[in-house]
Chain A
Amino acid sequence: GENVEQHPSTLSVQEGDSAVIKCTYSDSASNYFPWYKQELGKRPQLIIDIRSNVGEKKDQRIAVTLNKTAKHFSLHITETQPEDSAVYFCAASLMFSGGYNKLIFGAGTRLAVHP
């Protein structure tokens, strides 16, 4: 079945540096790739997403890139700040018969931004 691998599992950076989290997926039919941020003790929240007809999307300090040929997508955070510290999850949407799309999540990356 569909599998999403996420790396690294933990990432530590200095404030102001960039952070990159990478995910690979197995099903070439996947067509929607959201990223979620989960702060300690809180719910996952959608921060950015990309669809398969787009190669890159940016929102202020956050960007996501997609390489459909290689079946991987990445989250880029520039000028990191301590409030970026959280667990980040990638997901890939797998199409099932009947039009139902299921989100398959990666295992998460714990990002720590040190002042």
Chain B
Amino acid sequence: EAQVTQNPRYLITVTGKKLTVTCSQNMNHEYMSWYRQDPGLGLRQIYYSMNVEVTDKGDVPEGYKVSRKEKRNFPLILESPSPNQTSLYFCASSSGGGTGGAFFGQGTRLTVV
């Protein structure tokens, strides 16, 4: 079954404690991205990756890092989380450089206290 898998689904953490949200896809897609979803703001892109070892900033990259060492995995790293990073996060993958049907992961609800 084609899917994008994120972990964890829910996470409560304290300010400043490094965390990683994992994302894995089994569709051999080249393009992957991370979004955060906040009420009234829709989906805003944090980082994207066009292929292995190729990543770039999206619209709201501050406070986040990513890596793309393998085609299937695209983890999101928060080195020092802050309360304003409390949000719902989605990983997505697609073929064709970001066009075509984007497949989203199940989402990670992060709370930073």
Residues of A within 8 A of B (CB): 6, 9, 31-32, 34, 42-46, 49, 89, 93, 98-103, 105-108
Contacts and interface: CB of A to CB of B under 8 A. Distances in A.
Q: DSSP class of B's interface residues: helix, strand, loop or mixed?
A: mixed
A6 B43 CA distance: 13
Interface string B91-113: 00000111111111111000000
Q: What is the size category of the interface that chain B forms with chain A? A: 20 to 34
Given A43-B90, A43-B107, A101 B97 contact: yes
Contacts, number: 53
23 contacts: A9-B40, A31-B99, A32-B99, A34-B101, A34-B102, A42-B106, A43-B105, A44-B90, A49-B101, A98-B50, A99-B97, A100-B98, A101-B96, A101-B97, A102-B58, A103-B102, A105-B42, A105-B43, A105-B44, A106-B42, A107-B41, A107-B42, A108-B42
